[in-house]
Structure 1
Amino acid sequence: MTKLTIRKPDDWHLHLRDGEMLKSVLPHTSATFARAIIMPNLVPPVVTTADAVAYRERILAALPKEHSFTPLMTLYLTEGTDPDDVEAGFRDGTVTAAKLYPAGATTNSQSGVRSIDKVMPVLERMAEIGMTMCVHGEVTSADVDIFDREAVFLETVLAPLRERLPELRVVLEHVTTSDGVDFVMGAEKNLGATITPHHLMINRNAILAGGIRPHYYCLPVAKRESHRLALRKAATSGDARFFLGTDSAPHVDPSKECGCGCAGIFCAPNTLECLATVFEEDGALDRLEAFVSLNGPAYYRLPVNEERVTLVRQDAPVDFPAKVMAGSEAVTVFDPMRPIHWNVERTACPQGN
Structure 2
Amino acid sequence: MDDLFDGLEIPVAADFHVHLRDGAMMEAVTPTIRQGGVDTVFVMPNLVPPITTVQAALDYKKRLQAIEPNVNYLMSLYLHPSITPDTIREAKKAGIAGVKSYPAGVTTNSSSGVVDYEAFYPVFEAMEQEDLVLNLHGEAPPSPEAMEGSGASRQITVLNAEQEFLPTLNALHKRFPKLRIVLEHCTTAAAVEAVKGCGPQVVGTITAHHLFLIIDDWAGDPINFCKPVAKLPSDRIALLQAAASGDSKFFFGSDSAPHLLSAKKGLTDGGLGAGKCAAGVFTQPNVVGFVLEGFERAVKAGVLKREVLTEEVIESFTGRSGRKFYGIEEARGKIKIRARNVQVRNVKVGKAGEGENMNETVVTFRSGKPTYGVDWL
Q: Is TM more than 0.5 here?
A: yes
Contact persistence 2:9–2:335 (CA under 8 A): yes
Paired with 1:109 and 1:278, the residues of 2 have a C-alpha distance of 29
Q: 1:9 aligns with which of 13, 26, 33?
A: 13
Query: Could you say which residue in structure 1 is the equivalent of 2:162?
Result: 150
Q: Moved runs in structure 1, 4+ residues, more than 4 A?
A: 336-339
Alignment of 1:294-309 (within 5 A): 294-309=320-335
Query: Could you say which residue in structure 1 is the equivalent of 2:73?
Result: 71
Letter of the 2:334 counterpart: R
Letter of the 1:71 counterpart: Y
Contact persistence 1:198–1:336 (CA under 8 A): no
Query: Could you say which residue in structure 2 is the equivalent of 1:272?
Result: 288
Query: Could you say which residue in structure 2 is the equivalent of 1:127?
Result: 128
Paired with 1:294 and 1:336, the residues of 2 have a C-alpha distance of 29
Q: 1:293 aligns with which of 309, 314, 319?
A: 319
Paired with 1:134 and 1:227, the residues of 2 have a C-alpha distance of 22
Paired with 1:20 and 1:338, the residues of 2 have a C-alpha distance of 26
Query: Could you say which residue in structure 1 is the equivalent of 2:271?
Result: none
Paired with 2:318 and 2:47, the residues of 1 have a C-alpha distance of 26
Paired with 2:368 and 2:208, the residues of 1 have a C-alpha distance of 13
Paired with 2:367 and 2:204, the residues of 1 have a C-alpha distance of 22
Is 1:311 equivalent to 2:337 in the alignment? yes
Paired with 1:111 and 1:309, the residues of 2 have a C-alpha distance of 39
Letter of the 1:325 counterpart: K
Alignment of 1:174-213 (within 5 A): 174-208=185-219, 212-213=220-221
Paired with 1:206 and 1:160, the residues of 2 have a C-alpha distance of 33
Q: 1:38 aligns with which of 34, 39, 43?
A: 43
In structure 1, the gaps of 5 or more residues are: 348-353
Q: What is the CA distance between 1:24 and its match in structure 2?
A: 0.3
In structure 2, the gaps of 5 or more residues are: 144-154, 267-274, 353-359
Query: Could you say which residue in structure 1 is the equivalent of 2:364?
Result: 333
Residues 160-184 of structure 1: CA deviation (Å, up to 9, x unaligned): 1111111111000000000000011
Residues 80-134 of structure 1: CA deviation (Å, up to 9, x unaligned): 31211221121231x1101011111211011111101111111000001111100
Contact persistence 1:184–1:192 (CA under 8 A): yes
Paired with 1:69 and 1:206, the residues of 2 have a C-alpha distance of 32
Letter of the 2:171 counterpart: P
233-242 or 279-288: bigger deviation? 279-288
Q: Is the partner of 2:160 in helix, strand or coil?
A: helix
Contact persistence 1:201–1:336 (CA under 8 A): no
Query: Could you say which residue in structure 2 is the equivalent of 1:243?
Result: 251
Q: Is the partner of 2:122 in helix, strand or coil?
A: helix
Query: Could you say which residue in structure 2 is the equivalent of 1:344?
Result: 374
Q: Is the partner of 2:20 in helix, strand or coil?
A: coil
Q: 1:221 aligns with which of 214, 221, 229?
A: 229
Q: Is the partner of 2:230 in helix, strand or coil?
A: coil
Choose 1 or 2 for highest CA Rg. 2
Query: Could you say which residue in structure 2 is the equivalent of 1:89?
Result: 91
Q: What is the CA distance between 1:188 and its match in structure 2?
A: 2.4
Query: Could you say which residue in structure 2 is the equivalent of 1:103?
Result: 104
98-107 or 39-48: bigger deviation? 98-107
Letter of the 1:146 counterpart: V
Aligned residues: 335
Is 1:172 equivalent to 2:173 in the alignment? no
Residues 295-329 of structure 1: CA deviation (Å, up to 9, x unaligned): 10111111111111111225xx32121x2111122
Q: What is the CA distance between 1:337 and its match in structure 2?
A: 9.5
Instruction: Please give the TM-score of this superposition, normalised by the length of structure 1.
Output: 0.91
Contact persistence 2:343–2:369 (CA under 8 A): no
CA RMSD of aligned residues (A): 1.6
Q: What is the CA distance between 1:30 and its match in structure 2?
A: 2.9
Paired with 2:127 and 2:172, the residues of 1 have a C-alpha distance of 13
Paired with 2:46 and 2:140, the residues of 1 have a C-alpha distance of 18
Query: Could you say which residue in structure 2 is the equivalent of 1:20?
Result: 24
Letter of the 1:183 counterpart: A
Q: What is the CA distance between 1:338 and its match in structure 2?
A: 6.7
Paired with 2:283 and 2:89, the residues of 1 have a C-alpha distance of 33
Percent identical residues: 36
Contact persistence 2:54–2:94 (CA under 8 A): no
Letter of the 2:222 counterpart: P
Query: Could you say which residue in structure 2 is the equivalent of 1:141?
Result: 142
Q: Is the partner of 2:25 in helix, strand or coil?
A: helix
